[in-house]
Structure 1
Amino acid sequence: MLCATLCVLLLIWAPVAPGPSTPWKRDTGQQSSSSDVDIYSFHIDSRVSSRYAHTVITSRVANRADQSREVLFEVELPKNAFISNFSMTVGGKTYVGEVKEKEVARQQYDKAVSRGETAGLVSTVGRTMEEFKTSVTVAAHSKVTFELTYEELLKRRHGQYELLVKARPKQVVSNFTISVRIYEPQGISSLEAQGALTTNELSSVVQTTLTEKTAHVLFSPSEEQQRLCKDCGDRGLSGDLIIKYDVSRELPGELQVVNGYFVHYFAPTIDLRIPKSVVFVIDRSGSMSGSKIIQTHEALLQILGDINEQDHFGLISFDSSVSLWKETLVKASPGNLEEARAFVKSITARGATDINEAVMQGAQLLSRAREDKSIPEFSASILILLTDGDPTSGVTNLDQIQANVRQAIQKKHTLYCLGFGFDVNYKFLEKMALENGGVARRIYTHSDAALQLKGFYEEVATPLLLEVEVLFLHQGVANLTRSSFSQYYNGSEIVVAGRLLDNSLDTLVSEVQAQSSNAKEMFRLEAPVAPETGFQDEQYIFGQYIERLWAYLTVQQLLERELLVSDQEKAQVRGRALELSIQYNFVTPLTSMVVTKPEDGQSSGPQVAEKPKEEQDLEETNRDMSFTKSSGHRRFHHRMPQGPQGPLGSGSADTGSKRAVRKKLAGRGGHSNTGYVRANFPLPDSEYHLYSGPRPFPDPRILDHPPVLATVVPSPEPPLSVRFLVPSKVQVLPLCFDMPVSPGQTLLLFQEPTTGLAIFAEVGAQSRGSFSRIKIQISPSVVIRASALEVTLLHTATVQTWPWPDVSYTSDSLSVSVAGRVLTVTTGDSSVEVLVHQLQSRTHLWARVKDHAYSSGTGGLIGQFQDNISYEVKDSSSRSARIEVRGNVLDATSARSVDYSTLSRQKVDCWLVPPTGLLRDPAAYVSASL
């Protein structure tokens, strides 16, 4: 779910006592000295009541040194969890976190930074886990206790619930315990403990106790046992404990009511499956080359082997064109499956990405099959889209694609969107899936990507019911979570929660209506409104778990709904989610948890531990790096972005060089054929550091232990460069080139000698190659200057300034206005737009010419390519080519750029060529100042 991945924590404290700074060392998670800093107690206590898990991690640490020491608290928690409490006990006093609106907490952070106080930004993202890390200075011979609480609703997949607990204290702990207690009123039918902490050396340490309705898993190794595991020794344990279980299902579900809140679990046992019709829509664009396309082949071949003979299926592959394996859906007969395998093996990566046409044709395949009744009347219609990039061919406007897909599907089919890697626009895929009854899922480009694809298919492989509606036969039922579902799949579960407003109600009755393979079905359940008194063992039950389950599920679904509603409704939906987050002390995408520890009237700057959004733009991810300086060294704090083929490429000989890293970070994808130049702003070489491990190196975002990066002495910053992209009117891929610039320099983007219109862009002094100001010169006496904060008009002797976005000016010959993040300047038959992009800590501007009557003398880095450009590829491979353009033969390499001329910042493939030979006079477009 959307909100499963998103959290922000803001921690503010002052040092307990002054002391020497901790010497810099690699970020291995270990304390400054294992003998000085002793984690003498590490407990993880997880209690699961009716699938709702409440986990508390408690770490007690002693500073045994004669001087103060920095103590690190570093744990991992599931991505779908909400942190609900964090506290520190220092010097006998406990400081408890308070949940506030995210922007309020962020303002405290920004103010501390502006005052010059120490502040740091920490971000991590993983496949199933997120990292929480903080530290505090502890006085000599003193102790600190950290306590972190998080909550989550366990989701049933493949017929089991899974609770994942991660432990990595990084040293041997004298008192180490993981305790998991489970209470299920339906009864527990199966239970098993898995994971790295249950390996051969430690298997005897795991103790399980199972009764009819309760289970207890205890893992409490001695110090000697903690040293037994492979590669442990004095570094202690580091691994996970995975508890998998299921409940008894004598009834089709379970209805529970406690203190005015109720939850309905629905997972009936049904013998007859519903036939399904499934169309696989497979991206074969150039960015899928290498391991991605190989893993896609592998997954599809396995999936084809598992398709039920009652099912119908189709295959579509696409780049800038769409290829249908068959014009109609076919039954999964042995002969058809064999033909399909041959088609899958023939799919090769090439070209651009026309998502719109591919999904539209997939929907048409399913609709035609329904219309001509070649598939059963009651069958599940499913589209599965697998792509790794943005739409760069055909219809590329994201809103238009989503509207087209909605119109084509018309709620008759379900769309699942699988985003391969981190180049993909995940938010676009998520919204498109949610609008059409499905979900989006990221496929991580590791060696097990094929298993991830197959695992997802298995979740939707066996539909049992269609058009499921959960009803409650009382007037006093309110605040229901989602209660309508297009399908119910074998091995899954439907969960609906709500409130009771009628205090006089004795019994709550629910009714589930659904369509099976041959009939309308109705399932009825009843539950007493008064809470049960037969089971009151407090070691299993925690608080009002059904109420908190309702709040957790409501917040998650509100955040999903925010993607789908109109702008007018967004504020209301967001406001309700924020209200519940604060009321229940949940750290969600909308809130932050603030812990203030005063000491002698002082406080240090805040540290922000931020869980990035799953759909976070890769361009922002590329820049989400922070450095710690000490003794002339730099340390790479966090993640490197995903590269073109698996983690940062395929291991070429120069993988470790700064130039190669930059090239690989650029990624690969599709192209665009629109008629204006685009720009990308690569980071300077000094932002990348040499890697000391094996090549190709993995992606720290999705590994439990990020690779060690070698420290380097900072070198003088080389000139920045601005990447421009030039579409071609003939070839599929556009050209691109890098213009070297220095902070404060200005580029001439556009110049029209016949009218005097000109556009200039200034490179920010401290903005990593972004444009900080745009100047539009209408004539020598009429100039518009735009920054991220204000717009200034110089008209003859008059000067007018407006704060953004309060811009409005109209005269007979000039119009200046703002709509959202776009400034539009219109004069005569020409129209220029300035777009404002916010990329985390920085803002940059970009200009595009929307309308203009070009002449043969039109110039500038944009203007000279107004008619697009023709070039001829003399010879090429997947990564290089020799290209003839404007009478010059140039060496080109495969590269990628970001389209900043659109608010969606789409990514495009291009052939990177040197500016010399492409531009008429490269030096003529750079000046010293605006």
Structure 2
Amino acid sequence: MVNCCGLVSEKNEPVPLKSISVELQIKDHVASVCSSLQYLNEEDRPLEAVFVFPLPAEAAVCHFSAKIGDQEIVAEVQEKQSARDQYDDAVSSGQQAFLLEESEESSDVFRLSVGCLSPGQNASITIIYVIELSVQADEALRFCLPAVLNPRYKPAASPAGVPEVSSTSVIPYTLSLSVEVISSDRISRLLSSCPLEPLQYLDKQHCHATVNLSAGHRFDKDVELFVYYENSHQPTAVVEAGSSVAQSGSLMADPALMISLYPEFPASVMSSLASRGEFVFVVDRSGSMDCKMHHGNDAQMRIESARDTLLLLLKSLPMGCYFNIYGFGSHFESFFPQSVVYSEDTMEEALKRVKSMNADMGGTEILRPLKHIYSQPCYPDHPRQIFIFTDGEVWNTKEVLDLVKAHVYSHRCFSFGIGEGASTALITGMAREGSGHAQFITGTDRMQPKVMQSLRFALQPAVDNISVDWAVPKGMKVDMLSPPINTLFQGQRALIYAQIKGRSSEKKEGAVTVKYRLKDQPVTNQLQFTLEPTEDTGMTIHRLAARSVIRSLEMEERAEGADTENIRSRVVELSVQARISSVHTAFIAVNKDSKQTVKGALLQRRVPVQHMMASMHGGGRRMCGMAAPMLMQCSARSARAPRMDINYAIPMRACMMQSNSMRIESDSDEAEPQKDPLLQLVSLQKAEGFWELNASLAAVFGKTEDEVTNQKAAQVDGSVWATVLALIWLNTYKSDQQDEWQFVAMKAASWIRSQKRDGLSQCVCDGNALFGCQVTEDTLGI
């Protein structure tokens, strides 16, 4: 086994990838990303290399080119097999060729083949893609440049032959990143997970700004950017003119429309969240969950953060619902044979088992536990909500997504990608196909507030009977390109792509109306927009719309009884037309003018890609991630010898799981107390929502039991007093973490109101005196 990183030769030489530079342009909610990768062949022979690297699953790759010396070769989009054959022919004849392919297993992984790079020769590869920016809990728009691709786990029944890797290496290349933000809304700030130079505003309105990543950044972790606009929840419509050279009547020739809607539900419906439901929490317990959440000294292990999050979730559930918890790895197990009614007893039993959860279940195989969950009958009037937590990758991403989609009418799926490198295709795909919501927890993010936001979505009543109606001038029509909307959440963006056909001499204005039912109540949201095209959009909206259509067709192709040949033909036609990637096409570039050829007979053979499975059954070592772009295999060729394939070790994060025999764990039910006072307080709350007056509660407040008890009025019940104190303490000392404790506080306030006790006003007054604060009854919700 060769222990080194990146591109290696048969002599185990350093990688020729020297640097990566990225130019990012953000226009409102859409980003265009131009990445340039600089390569150098330091071998004394021509070289071919295959790199595998991650891109966001939602990205539409729309340009690929290679520059060798002063000559630039721009790639064409072709049917995939045709492109592969052309690449093989070119490389075998000594021509320089480049092939960019989307993985057939997962849409967030691409393979780049660099063929026939002469000794000492430089090559600059440019890849451009466009993508919609996701909206975060704090209303920021998030862009992520992935640097890490986690190990993709293959089930035991899959073909073997994947090597174990037990070495780590320093990433030898740097990243430069420049960012330009152009918005119709005022830019309030821009944050990043990596050091940035100061933000420079280019206009007085603060609608145009630039910023650069600090020099010398080592590209060993994801780069995240968060853009904040003053009115990020403002519904918008963008009309983009069609291409004058595209075929008449095609998607690329007609104007394209992108609608961003933010549904606003009636206050009467939102005032009381749903109290019924079945909540199934599915937690990754593979070896890599023993890695740290981030690189800081105070970082928790991922499994520890998951345990804390489960505590918060279990305490936040409403009485009368059903719940269950699954752990999965190479196998899976559930806390209960089937979901049970939420009560004090079942909650306490679950919490005991949560405390003993470890990252000790091997690989990452998510399909089997999902099949088991879907095989369980649903409870009438208790809609199923599945929460899935994972930090890894699976090879059968598309099979998982097909399964989730097949059961979309019986559940909603909320997915969470933990740590850098979690598959965007898997996480966003499960949420999309399961009518839920996706979250990524990276860097120093806390898992709890993001999970609580998704719980708020899950507790919202399900929207049904959704329809979209268009009003445009006579002579025009709108064809919706996005798949039918099957879910809406309060305050969360819904994107709609459409094609505008025809012409009209009337006023250039249109409107879109979204109608739906919410708890048997009809709701209507409408947006009026101009039909005048936006200037200088670079066909971005068309390509995102085409990507949306292609993804829908790819899902349709995998459905039982689908006309696969016809669908594949439509995908290829649209992919070539729009010049964007798909699973059935590839970008191919051949330098036919190159005079530097390799003479002699060469063996024509496609380079096999050795995929990583850094996981061992039965407690072997498991790596947490790998830096990218990554070479999966490289080949050196000469005129005298056939192609030689050289295996190598992918660079991994220095984070390994010790074998089970080396792990020291306590089997006792007694667990170390939570260090976080908030989690200490939450852990003491009863399922019905109240707290008991005891020394443990007083310790959270920083008081003795006598200090807390002596302040209580004689006629006040101890549990009411304790619960009022807990609410005052939360609002006083943890107001900045309200997203995390809002549901435990709602349960507590509801319980207090149900007691119908006198003297609450005096109780609140005495509590304020104890803590030296001034919190009102209205603030506490009692």
> Normalized against structure 2, the TM-score is what?
0.56
Q: Which protein is richer in strand relative to its size?
A: 1
Which digits, 9 at most, give the CA deviation of each residue in 1:569-588, with x for residues without a partner?
33333322221211121122
Q: Structure 1 residue aligned with 2:539, among 520, 544, 547?
A: 544
Alpha-carbon distance in structure 2 between the residues aligned to 1:23 and 1:320: 41
In structure 2, the residue matched to 1:531 is: 533
In structure 2, the residue matched to 1:54 is: 32
Question: Aligned pair in 2 of structure 1 residues 215, 275: CA closer, same or farther (>3 Å)?
Answer: farther
Q: CA deviation at 1:642?
A: 2.9
Q: CA deviation at 1:265?
A: 0.5
Q: Is 2:221 aligned against 1:243?
A: no
Q: Secondary structure at the match of 1:482?
A: coil
In structure 1, the residue matched to 2:493 is: 493
In structure 1, the residue matched to 2:177 is: 178
Q: Structure 1 residue aligned with 2:385, among 382, 386, 391?
A: 382
Q: Match for 2:274: what amino acid?
A: P
Q: CA deviation at 1:264?
A: 0.9
Q: Is 2:480 aligned against 1:480?
A: yes
Equivalent residue runs for 1:557-636 within 5 Å? 557-563=552-558, 565-599=559-593, 624-625=609-610
Alpha-carbon distance in structure 1 between the residues aligned to 2:207 and 2:240: 19
Q: Match for 2:193: what amino acid?
A: G
In structure 2, the residue matched to 1:193 is: 191
Q: Secondary structure at the match of 2:580?
A: coil
Which digits, 9 at most, give the CA deviation of each residue in 1:216-272, with x for residues without a partner?
232276xxx64xx7xx7xxxx766643212445487621222322111111245563
Which digits, 9 at most, give the CA deviation of each residue in 1:733-776, with x for residues without a partner?
xxxxxxxxxxxxxxxxxxxxxxxxxxxxxxxxxxxxxxxxxxxx
Question: Aligned pair in 2 of structure 1 residues 431, 205: CA closer, same or farther (>3 Å)?
Answer: closer
Alpha-carbon distance in structure 2 between the residues aligned to 1:363 and 1:429: 25
Q: Secondary structure at the match of 1:595?
A: strand
Q: Is 2:339 aligned against 1:341?
A: no
Q: Match for 2:557: what amino acid?
A: E
Question: Aligned pair in 2 of structure 1 residues 479, 211: CA closer, same or farther (>3 Å)?
Answer: farther
In structure 2, the residue matched to 1:108 is: 86
In structure 1, the residue matched to 2:463 is: 466
Q: CA deviation at 1:100?
A: 0.7
Bigger CA radius of gyration = 1
Whether the 8 Å contact between 1:207 and 1:219 is mirrored in structure 2 is no
Question: Aligned pair in 2 of structure 1 residues 485, 62: CA closer, same or farther (>3 Å)?
Answer: closer
Q: Is 2:51 aligned against 1:79?
A: no
Q: Structure 2 residue aligned with 1:161, among 126, 134, 141?
A: 141
Which digits, 9 at most, give the CA deviation of each residue in 1:191-236, with x for residues without a partner?
323133x1xxxx5466466865734232276xxx64xx7xx7xxxx
Whether the 8 Å contact between 2:401 and 2:429 is mirrored in structure 1 is no
Q: Secondary structure at the match of 1:580?
A: helix
Question: Aligned pair in 2 of structure 1 residues 705, 521: CA closer, same or farther (>3 Å)?
Answer: same
Question: Aligned pair in 2 of structure 1 residues 594, 172: CA closer, same or farther (>3 Å)?
Answer: closer
Question: Aligned pair in 2 of structure 1 residues 414, 162: CA closer, same or farther (>3 Å)?
Answer: same
Q: Match for 1:703: what amino acid?
A: A
Percent of residue pairs bearing the same amino acid type: 15
Q: Structure 1 residue aligned with 2:237, among 240, 255, 262?
A: 255
In structure 1, the residue matched to 2:262 is: 267
Q: CA deviation at 1:603?
A: 5.4
Q: CA deviation at 1:568?
A: 3.3
Alpha-carbon distance in structure 2 between the residues aligned to 1:339 and 1:624: 46
Alpha-carbon distance in structure 2 between the residues aligned to 1:119 and 1:572: 30
Alpha-carbon distance in structure 1 between the residues aligned to 2:403 and 2:49: 49
Q: CA deviation at 1:124?
A: 11
In structure 1, the residue matched to 2:76 is: 98
Alpha-carbon distance in structure 2 between the residues aligned to 1:62 and 1:288: 36
Question: Aligned pair in 2 of structure 1 residues 431, 584: CA closer, same or farther (>3 Å)?
Answer: closer
Question: Aligned pair in 2 of structure 1 residues 133, 543: CA closer, same or farther (>3 Å)?
Answer: same
Question: Aligned pair in 2 of structure 1 residues 316, 149: CA closer, same or farther (>3 Å)?
Answer: closer
Question: Aligned pair in 2 of structure 1 residues 45, 513: CA closer, same or farther (>3 Å)?
Answer: same
Q: Secondary structure at the match of 1:489?
A: coil
Whether the 8 Å contact between 2:305 and 2:447 is mirrored in structure 1 is no
Q: CA deviation at 1:495?
A: 0.5
Question: Which sections of structure 2, spanning at least 5 residues, go unmatched?
Answer: 1-7, 149-169, 242-254, 292-300, 634-658, 663-782
Question: Aligned pair in 2 of structure 1 residues 461, 54: CA closer, same or farther (>3 Å)?
Answer: same
Alpha-carbon distance in structure 2 between the residues aligned to 1:553 and 1:530: 23
In structure 2, the residue matched to 1:834 is: none
CA RMSD of aligned residues (A): 6.1
Question: Aligned pair in 2 of structure 1 residues 381, 144: CA closer, same or farther (>3 Å)?
Answer: closer
Which digits, 9 at most, give the CA deviation of each residue in 1:895-921, with x for residues without a partner?
xxxxxxxxxxxxxxxxxxxxxxxxxxx
Whether the 8 Å contact between 2:38 and 2:124 is mirrored in structure 1 is yes
Alpha-carbon distance in structure 2 between the residues aligned to 1:238 and 1:425: 17
Q: Is 2:314 aligned against 1:314?
A: no
In structure 1, the residue matched to 2:623 is: 698
Q: CA deviation at 1:596?
A: 0.9
Q: CA deviation at 1:279?
A: 3.9
Equivalent residue runs for 1:877-888 within 5 Å? none
Question: Aligned pair in 2 of structure 1 residues 46, 403: CA closer, same or farther (>3 Å)?
Answer: closer
Alpha-carbon distance in structure 2 between the residues aligned to 1:542 and 1:410: 35
Which digits, 9 at most, give the CA deviation of each residue in 1:316-369, with x for residues without a partner?
5487886538865437xx8875554234346688999974784146542xx33x
Alpha-carbon distance in structure 1 between the residues aligned to 2:190 and 2:283: 40
Q: Match for 2:627: what amino acid?
A: L
Equivalent residue runs for 1:906-925 within 5 Å? none
Q: CA deviation at 1:500?
A: 1.0
Q: Match for 1:100: what amino acid?
A: Q
In structure 2, the residue matched to 1:811 is: none
Alpha-carbon distance in structure 1 between the residues aligned to 2:513 and 2:126: 42
Q: CA deviation at 1:510?
A: 0.5
Q: Match for 1:184: what amino acid?
A: S
Whether the 8 Å contact between 2:386 and 2:413 is mirrored in structure 1 is yes
Which digits, 9 at most, give the CA deviation of each residue in 1:137-195, with x for residues without a partner?
4798x97654332222222233322223479998899xx9633222333x145432313
Alpha-carbon distance in structure 2 between the residues aligned to 1:178 and 1:110: 34
Q: Match for 2:623: what amino acid?
A: P
Question: Aligned pair in 2 of structure 1 residues 497, 72: CA closer, same or farther (>3 Å)?
Answer: same
Moved more, 53-62 or 342-351: 342-351
In structure 1, the residue matched to 2:409 is: 411
Q: How many residues align?
A: 559
Structure with larger RCO (C-alpha < 8 A, sep 6+): 2
Q: Match for 1:529: what amino acid?
A: L
Alpha-carbon distance in structure 1 between the residues aligned to 2:123 and 2:427: 44
Which digits, 9 at most, give the CA deviation of each residue in 1:531-553, with x for residues without a partner?
35xxx6xxxx4413322221222
Q: Match for 2:499: what amino acid?
A: R
Q: Secondary structure at the match of 1:501?
A: strand
Question: Aligned pair in 2 of structure 1 residues 362, 381: CA closer, same or farther (>3 Å)?
Answer: same
Whether the 8 Å contact between 1:208 and 1:217 is mirrored in structure 2 is yes
In structure 2, the residue matched to 1:394 is: none
Q: Structure 1 residue aligned with 2:342, among 315, 327, 330?
A: 330
Q: CA deviation at 1:526?
A: 0.8
Q: Secondary structure at the match of 1:556?
A: helix
> Normalized against structure 1, the TM-score is what?
0.48
Q: Secondary structure at the match of 2:544?
A: helix
Q: Is 2:66 aligned against 1:88?
A: yes
Q: Match for 2:63: what amino acid?
A: N
In structure 1, the residue matched to 2:511 is: 509
Q: CA deviation at 1:57?
A: 3.0
Q: Which protein is richer in helix relative to its size?
A: 2
Q: Secondary structure at the match of 2:189?
A: strand
